[in-house]
Amino acid sequence: MLSGVVVSLYMELELPYDTDARVQLAEILNDVSSAAISCESSISPLVQQYKQTSLQHKRSHFVHLIENQYQRALRGCCPAEMLLPCVDFMTHLALCDINLYCVDADYGFTMYLHVKTVKAVCDLREMLRSYQLNRLLENMFSAFSAFPNISGQLEYQLVSSR
């Protein structure tokens, strides 16, 4: 059972061709989500250690360890070109106590994020406001061969939380 809330982010993507690419991307991200959830027991202690230290070099070390864990878990779940952008995305989410829960591409493109704490909600809001989430997603999408270039900016609309 999940503690926290699941927040849905609806994204309007300007697709170059058809919706098959959007569905394929959603399937890849759902595989990434499953792999990330399976390694959460090894990631959580590293995130806690990251948060408990104030020394920058130790924080960098914990980030590197978290990235290594995700790299091992996600290898084979996504195209090789997407591995590093997916690792970067999942690492940023983990450091904010947010997990990628699932992605739905049936009507548009909706990403469901499991937000564990009130601070995580604030962190997510800041990631949206500062376009950090936008940059992380653009890196993933541009690495995906069906999305060689995303024209314009990705638009996010916080649709609902439950």
Q: What is the mean pLDDT of each run of 10 residues along the chain (162 residues)?
A: 73 61 86 95 96 93 97 93 95 95 83 91 91 87 61 42 40
The pLDDT value recorded for residue 30 is 95
The pLDDT value recorded for residue 60 is 95
Beta bridge mates, 114:
6, 99
The pLDDT value recorded for residue 65 is 97
Distances (CA, A) of 98 to 79, 89, 113, 133, 151: 23, 11, 7, 12, 28
In this structure, what are the phi and psi dihedrals at residue 16, rounded to the nearest 5 degrees? -70, -30
The pLDDT value recorded for residue 14 is 59
109-115 and 98-104 beta bridge pairing: antiparallel
**Average confidence score pLDDT of the chain:** 83
The pLDDT value recorded for residue 15 is 55
The pLDDT value recorded for residue 2 is 56
Specify the residue for token string 């997916």. 86
Name the residue among 107, 132, 116 with its Cα closest to residue 43.
116
